[in-house]
Amino acid sequence: MFRAAAIVVLLLAGAPALALAQQMAPPAAVPGKPAERPAAAGPVPAKELFGRVEGPAPLAARSIGFYSRGCLAGAEALAVNGPSWQGPSWQVMRLSRNRNFGHPDLVAFLERFSAQVPKVSSWQGILVGDMSQPRGGPMLTGHASHQIGLDADIWLTPSPGRELSREDREKLSASMMVRADRRDIDPANWRPDHWKVIRAAALDPRVERIFVNAAIKKALCREASGDRAFLAKVRPYWGHDYHMHVRLTCPAGNPECRPQEAPPTGEGCGSELDWWFTDEVLHPKPEKEPAKPKPPLTLADLPEACAAVLGAR
């Protein structure tokens, strides 16, 4: 903890182009106009530090910590467009978020997966949502995970077969795959190609698991044919009704990366899936007293190496 605090102080004393003095400011309504932070507010949340760094740490690539508590050194940016055949093989969405960074292994996965998709489906390419920030770490908004450069959101809306403008990438909405009652997929948007695309991702040996909405998992259990072993990697989770969240295993030679416990064996299509469609989940009773929000992670909560990643120049 002392080391993390000391590095933050040293960073505040210097002022290169990406000075962490700027990064220490709390989120502002208008970028570039940091709001004042009360003196008694306590440690600066780590999301305010990592969320405002614009470029990757110039260090050897390594994932540090756990998917929801860590950082990323030597990140690589995924190009905003993939190679074009009938439109780009991938397109990065929401460019304003600056979240198209990952460990080089994640970038390599997206490159080969996007090349595989047209071979197994009628899709001409994929739309890539959030990956990680330039140095990983907690995000200003959204995800609890995506912190170590091994998570990527891939829209379940196929690429349109043409290059999208920057404005399109900010405004275009992903298609909702889940029915209004949350009990199954929406047949207006779901196609057989969807399970084939998800299977193609799961079959990649580097993929550790894929998170989707329980209704999507139900559709996979019902529709998947042939070898169904891939279903073990596809896990139901809250949300994830517009996209699939792909997570890779820890890279070789990254001892600071903490792996996740392996998913349960079996297809996951039995009683464990049925639970997601009970009233307990779909119609939960309101709590008598709302739970207190957890305090945000600070730099001291992350692996010690993350302070050096944050400050690297």
| Alpha-carbon torsion (260, 263, 264, 270), positive or negative | positive
Q: What is the pLDDT of residue 41?
A: 53
Whichever domain contains 257, its CATH number is 3.30.1380.10
123 belongs to a structural domain: yes
**pTM listed for this prediction:** 0.86
231 belongs to a structural domain: yes
181 belongs to a structural domain: yes
51 belongs to a structural domain: no
Q: What is the pLDDT of residue 184?
A: 96
33 belongs to a structural domain: no
| 249/236 Cα distance (integer angstroms) | 18
41 belongs to a structural domain: no
Number of domains the chain contains? 1
Nearest to 58 by CA among 134, 125, 109: 134
23 belongs to a structural domain: no
Q: What is the pLDDT of residue 76?
A: 98
C-alpha torsion 189→195→196→198, nearest 10: 110
Q: State which residues form the domain around 87.
A: 2-16+65-282+295-311
The conformation of residue 81, written as its DSSP 8-state character, comes to: B
| 45/236 Cα distance (integer angstroms) | 30
Q: What is the pLDDT of residue 292?
A: 86
- Please list the pLDDT of the chain residue by residue as tens digits (313 residues): 444 444 444 443 333 333 343 333 333 333 433 444 444 456 899 999 999 999 999 999 999 999 999 999 999 999 999 998 778 999 999 999 999 999 999 999 999 999 999 999 999 999 999 999 999 999 999 899 999 999 999 999 999 999 999 999 999 999 999 999 999 999 999 999 999 999 999 999 999 999 999 999 999 999 999 999 999 999 999 999 999 999 999 999 999 999 999 988 899 999 999 999 999 999 988 888 888 888 999 999 999 999 999 999 9
223 belongs to a structural domain: yes
DSSP letter string over 165-192? PHHHHHHPPPPP-B-TTSSSB-TTT--H
